[in-house]
Amino acid sequence: MPLCCPGCNYTLKVGRLFCDRCQTEVNGVFNMPLLVRLDDKEQDFVIDFVKSSGSLKDMAKNMGISYPTVRNFLDDLIDKLNKMDL
Q: What is the pLDDT of residue 32?
A: 87
Fold of 34-84: Arc Repressor Mutant, subunit A (1.10.10)
Show the CA angle centred on residue 74, arms to residues 55 and 70, nearest 5°.
Answer: 65
Q: What is the pLDDT of residue 6?
A: 94
Domain boundaries, the chain: 34-84
Q: What is the pLDDT of residue 86?
A: 63
Q: What is the pLDDT of residue 13?
A: 92
Q: Tell me the whole-structure pTM to 2 decimals.
A: 0.77
Q: What is the block-wise mean pLDDT of the chain (86 residues), using blocks of 10 residues? A: 90 93 96 90 96 96 96 97 83
Q: What is the pLDDT of residue 46?
A: 97
DSSP 3-state percent helix, strand, coil across the chain (nearest 5): 50, 15, 35
